[in-house]
Structure 1
Amino acid sequence: MDSQEKSLEQTMENEKNVEVTPNEATAQKEQVETTDNAAEAENASGQRKVYKTKAEVVERIKEIAHAEEIPQKDEVDYLKTVFYKLHFAEREADMKAYLDAGGDPAAYQVKPDENENAFKAEMTIIKERRAKQFEEQEKLKQENLKKKLDIIEKIKNMATSPEEANKSYQEFKQLQQEWKEIKMVPAENANELWRNYQLYVEQFYDLLKLNSEAREYDFKKNLEIKTKLCEAAEKLADEDDVISAFHQLQELHQEYRESGPVAKELREGIWARFKAASTVINKKHQQHFEDIRAKEEDNLNKKTELCEKVEAIAKEENKTSADWENHTKQIIEIQTEWKTIGFAPQKMNVKIFERFRAACDDFFGRKSAYFTQMKKEFTENAEKKKALVEKAQALKDSTEWKATSDKLIALQKEWKTIGMVPKKYGDQLWNDFLAACNHFFEARNAANAGARNEEHANLDKKKAVVEKLKALLENPVDDTQAEVRKLTEEYNSIGHVPYKEKDKIFNEYHEVLDKIFKELNISTARRRLNNFKINLKNVAKRGEDALDNERTRLQRRAEQMKQEIQTYENNLGFLNASSKKGNSLIDEMNRKVQKLKDDLELIKQKIKAIDSEEK
């Protein structure tokens, strides 16, 4: 073995650290199947056909399964990835629609898919064809190995003496041609087979005693072949498709090996040139896959962040349907973003997808349960409101104005306590309920038209009293307090006013009273006591029982206040006033205690007033 072959063998070993060694074993292996990285690269570069439906993928896989040519592994793997990506997306959309429609998550069943069954059937055919192809290729490799071993043995026998070499030259050239035509051999035998072949070929040439012209011509022809191979390898550096360039380089290496020797002084130089061009392509090939791996790691980080976002949203509390819808919108936006991110590293791609899908399923499962429960509550609420509608309609023609008014008002209050119902039922129920109530109250108002006239007259009287109080505020008299008491008694003796005006006149009345009392420097407690004493006369007119009942009520209230005061004082004993917040709380509780004590004293005064009235 000369220095060229040694250099080639050493270079092949060194270039294993760069990427894939361009040797005969690699070239033969890639004739059977393309590497997974190559398939991924073609997918990542966007050169693959884009399939939008599973039916399109199934159609293509059928073409491949029944075509005459042997199925290529890279395209089959790509189709398999695309099919199941579409398949899982379709299944998720179907489940989401089921859950959004109120379906029970526990009862959900995956529907049979004819496309998936067809896809699996065609994949089985492809698998069987590839297995058969592999078996045939292995058999062919063994046959080729035997043929090449026979060729080596024949050349070995020719290279015994210069005379034999000269006689066998034409046969030698024929054996070289046969060697080139024999392609695949077992990968484990390829390197040793090639080294032995080169060894005996060189020995043959060294013994060959042709005339110098023929020898120089043979070396010159081989140099031209190797030079063209170098130029072709160097040109591959400008190839945009890194994967294609790498595969072409493998073919060039095969041709380089099969080309004959050159003059000894040129062997090292021509090999160094070919090796340098190969190194450029190998480095680009390695960098290409390093970039893909870096991109996949970046995709994994992005997908991990999206998983964390969905998991965080899924943990948030949803109190209302608006909360659920808001979070649903956020998750759908995240799902849309997920689809824009490419593949993660192969060992993590399925795991990260399962994590993402689990978080989404958890959220949508609980959302479905929530809306299922809400639907049940809506149905129950609708039944309750329907019952109120029936009750109101049964009362709408009643002429028992007071009793029926109370009943309808009670029904209206109960209506407010009932939760929501579906809008398509709720509006109709409300309209029916409102119509029944309006029917009754309009009839009552028509019957009580005279009473309303009286209420308007009472309103005028109360306005007159308020005007007198305002005049008294502007121009006090000698006995303002007695005059105020007189006007207060007059105001309280006036009957009901229209309901809509009640609060307005009441506020106006008390506003002017407050100003008068403030001017007279009468304490709030004293004013309340005076008002109580004034009202007490009206109570006394109803008899002693009324006074006793009022006294009993006040005594019960006094006892309650005493207990509240005691409770506050006990709590004050446990508080720590070392902090600003503690001081603030203690001050607030002290104010409450003082307020309770003042109110308790007022109640005591009221009780005394009742006792004086009874005497």
Structure 2
Amino acid sequence: MSSDPWGRVDETGTVYVRTADGEQVVGSWQAGTPEEALAYFERKYEGLVVEIGLLERRVKTTDLSSKDAMAAIGHLRTQIDEHHAVGDLAALRTRLDALVATVDSRREERRIQKAKQTDEARHAKEALVVEAEELAESEQWRSAGEQLRALVDTWKALPRLDRKSDDELWHRFSHARSAFSKRRKAHFAALDAQREDARKAKEKLVAEAEALSGSTDWGTTAARYRDLMTEWKAAGRAQRESEDELWNRFRGAQDVFFAARGGVFAERDAEQGENLKVKEELAVEAEKLVPVKDLKTARAAFRALNERWEAIGHVPRDARPKVEGRMQAVERALQEAEENEWRRSNPEARARAEGLTGQLQAAVDKLRKQIDTARASGNNARADKLAKELEGRQALLDQALKGLEEFSG
């Protein structure tokens, strides 16, 4: 008979393991000496020790699921309970009990983490829904449409909630996008309708202009052409391709009439020469209005000059483009001044510019503090990296501040 602190072999070859509940039969050994029998079952014990150690490491260092971990623990516990090894089986049970506690703790941590992630995803999706509903009321069709598309990409990147909550939020989100799309389509449909009405109105004006092009009633027809031009401007713009084609016909009809009149009044070339001198003088007066300092005054002055201009009559054909071009250049300068004034007084554009400037200034101030902190702590590498980032942000801020100045210029 052979024995050690944890087991023995009796004279019949039966192997026993010692436990707190007394000796338990491990197995029977007939193939060698008692010492070899104990060594064999001790190796089985060492194998269990190794398996438990490996499982402990997997539980602590990998993302092994709780279900798989408990299954592995149960498998090892069965092997221990069947007493097919010689060694401190109670110690192995203790380690498995501790491992169960660890698995339970990890399971609870994962539950808490999952709940936290779900809560964060819920808040994020609720925020997206609120933003989408606000954008749905916007009339900034292009920018709002781009923002809504970006929100969809953000939504797709977020984890799903429970089906009921996710479906409810998605329904609101989708409804907001649909509402915006309907409003945008309605807007452009109305715009298209307006342009179609303008096209029809200008078609009639063109038809009348072309019918008048052969008239020899110079005064009455010229006056009617001026009225037609006023009606043309009041009709609004048609689609670009139609607008250009109609304008060429409209202007061409007038050119035919005035060319014929010019031929008839060839003897009045001297008078037209005088007209040219007067118009050149008016052009000089108009050019003094540029650069525009007082838009209202400049516009009134130009209107008065233009009325005098219209009252003068024709100038020699070859001189017309140059002298009219001078007046048109002044008119364009006035239009640009009006557009600049509108941009400066546009509260929405100003608010966006101020918001952007504020964000960039906050980012610059934050980077400067971070740089000072890094320098103070001796982390020059981080300070240098932040300094490069600061240069970029500062450049953006300078550009934003320059743009903001335009609103107060």
Q: Please, what TM-score do these two structures have when normalized by structure 2?
A: 0.53
Counterpart for residue 427 of structure 1: 244
Amino acid across the alignment from 1:342: P
| Higher RCO (CA < 8 A, seq sep 6+) | 1
- In the alignment, the residues of structure 2 paired with residue 460 and residue 207 of structure 1 have an alpha-carbon distance, to the nearest angstrom, of 130
Counterpart in 2 of 1:71? none
**CA offset digits 1:337-393 (Å, max 9, x no partner):** 333333345552222222211111110011112222322332232222112111111
Separation in 1, partners of 2:47, 2:205: 101
Is 1:313 equivalent to 2:146 in the alignment? no
Counterpart secondary structure, 1:315: coil
Residues 298/423 of structure 1: CA separation in 2 closer, same or farther (3 Å cut): same
In the aligned structure 1, how far is the partner of 2:247 from the partner of 2:115?
Answer: 64
Q: Which runs of 5+ in 1 are unaligned?
A: 1-168, 170-201, 464-495, 502-615
Does the CA-based 8 Å contact 2:59-2:69 persist in structure 1?
no
Separation in structure 2 between the aligned mates of residue 341 and residue 391 of structure 1, nearest angstrom: 63
Code of the residue aligned with 2:131 in structure 1: it is: K
Q: Is the 8 A contact 1:299 1:342 kept in 2?
A: yes
Q: Is the 8 A contact 1:392 1:437 kept in 2?
A: yes
Alignment of 1:252-401 (within 5 A): 252-262=73-83, 266-316=88-138, 318=139, 323-401=140-218
1:415 correspondence with 2:237: no
Please give the secondary structure, in 2, of the residue aligned with 1:284.
helix
- Conserved in 2, the CA contact under 8 Å of 1:396 and 1:439? yes
Using a 3 Å threshold, how does the CA distance of structure 1 residues 330 and 265 change in structure 2: closer, same or farther?
closer
SS of match in other structure, 1:399? coil
Render the CA deviation track for 1:145-165: whole Å, top value 9, x for unaligned.
xxxxxxxxxxxxxxxxxxxxx
| Distance of 1:340 and 1:265 partners within structure 2 | 53
For 1:335 and 1:401, the matched residues in 2 are separated by 65
CA apart distance, 1:209:
13
For 1:181-196, list aligned pairs within 5 A.
Answer: none
State whether residues 233 and 278 of structure 1, in contact with CA within 8 Å, keep that contact through their aligned partners in structure 2. Answer: no
* d(CA) in 2 for partners of 1:386, 1:208: 108
Contact 2:41 2:86 in 1 (8 A): no
Q: Which residue does the alignment assign to 1:444? A: 261
Letter in 2 for 1:403: T
Partners of 1:397 and 1:440 within 8 A in 2: yes
Deviation at 1:437, TM superposition (A): 1.5
Tell whether 2:58 aligns with 1:236. Answer: yes
The one-character-per-residue Cα deviations of 1:218-249 (angstroms, maximum 9, x if unpaired) are 98577446434422321213543333x75144
Distance in structure 1 (CA, Å) of the matches to 2:26 and 2:135 = 83
Among 243, 247, 252, the residue aligned to 2:68:
247
- SS of corresponding position for 1:351: helix
For 2:144 and 2:26, how far apart are their aligned partners in 1? 86
- What is the CA distance between 1:329 and its match in structure 2? 2.4
In the superposition, relative to structure 1, how do residues 236 and 278 fare at CA in structure 2: closer, same or farther (>3 Å)? farther
| CA separation of 1:497 and 1:359: change in aligned 2, threshold 3 A | closer
Cα deviation code 1:73-94 (max 9, x no counterpart): xxxxxxxxxxxxxxxxxxxxxx
| CA distance in structure 1 between the partners assigned to 2:42 and 2:181 by the alignment | 76
Q: C-alpha separation between the residues in 1 aligned to 2:257 and 2:28?
A: 131
The DSSP-based 3-state class of the residue aligned with 2:108 is: helix
* CA separation of 1:384 and 1:284: change in aligned 2, threshold 3 A: same
Does residue 403 of the first structure (1) align with residue 220 of the second (2)?
yes
In structure 1, C-alpha distance between the alignment counterparts of 2:128 and 2:266, rounded to whole Å: 69
1:443-481 C-alpha deviation (Å, 9 max, x unpaired): 2233334446336558989x9xxxxxxxxxxxxxxxxxx
CA distance in structure 2 between the aligned counterparts of 1:327 and 1:419, rounded to whole angstroms: 27
Change in 2 beyond 3 A, CA 1:393/1:342: same
* Structure in which a larger fraction of residues adopt strand: 2
Whether the 8 Å CA contact 1:459–1:498 is kept in 2: the answer is no
CA distance in 2, matches of 1:208, 1:425: 100
Q: 1:368 to 1:437 in 2, by over 3 A?
A: same
Inter-partner Cα distance in structure 2 for 1:238 and 1:447: 105
* Distance apart, 1:400 and its partner CA: 0.7
State how many pairs are aligned. Answer: 263
Please tell me the residue identity of whatever aligns with 1:270.
Answer: L
Counterpart of 2:395 in structure 1 is: none
Counterparts of residues 139-178 of structure 1 (less than 5 Å): none
Q: 1:365–1:261: structure 2 CA closer, same or farther, 3 Å change rule?
A: same
How many angstroms does 1:261 deviate by?
A: 4.6
Alpha-carbon distance in structure 2 between the residues aligned to 1:361 and 1:460: 62
Q: Is the 8 A contact 1:388 1:411 kept in 2?
A: yes
Q: Residue 302 of structure 1 aligns to which amino acid in structure 2?
A: A
Q: TM-score, normalised by structure 1?
A: 0.37
The answer on whether the counterparts of 1:234 and 1:277 sit within 8 Å (CA) in structure 2 is yes
Q: What is the CA–CA distance in structure 1 between the aligned matches of 2:227 and 2:81, rounded to whole Å?
A: 110
CA contact (8 A) 2:42 2:86 kept: no
- SS state at 2:136 partner: helix
Which stretch of the first structure deviates more once superposed, 378-387 or 265-274?
A: 265-274
Equivalent residues in 2 for 1:463-612, closer than 5 Å: 497=312
In the superposition, relative to structure 1, how do residues 499 and 285 fare at CA in structure 2: closer, same or farther (>3 Å)? farther
Counterpart amino acid of residue 374 in structure 1: L
Cα 1:293–1:346 change in 2 (3 A) is: farther
- The unaligned stretches of length 5 or more in structure 2 are 1-13, 15-19, 281-310, 316-322, 324-409
Q: C-alpha displacement at 1:253, in angstroms? A: 1.6
What CA distance in whole angstroms lies between the structure 1 residues aligned with 2:153 and 2:126?
A: 15
Match of 1:276, as an amino acid? Answer: A
**Matched position secondary structure for 1:296:** helix
The residue identity in structure 2 corresponding to 1:420 is R
Percent of pairs with identical residues: 20
Residue identity matched to 2:233: K
Question: Once the 2 structures are TM-superposed, how far is the Cα of residue 301 of structure 1 from its aligned partner?
Answer: 2.0
Classify 1:249/1:239 alpha carbon distance in 2 versus 1 (closer, same or farther; 3 Å).
farther
1-structure distance, mates of 2:187, 2:134: 18
Q: Would the aligned equivalents of 2:198 and 2:235 in 1 still touch at CA under 8 Å?
A: yes
Question: Take 1:460 and 1:373, find their aligned partners in 2: how far apart are those partners?
Answer: 48
Deviation at 1:307?
1.7
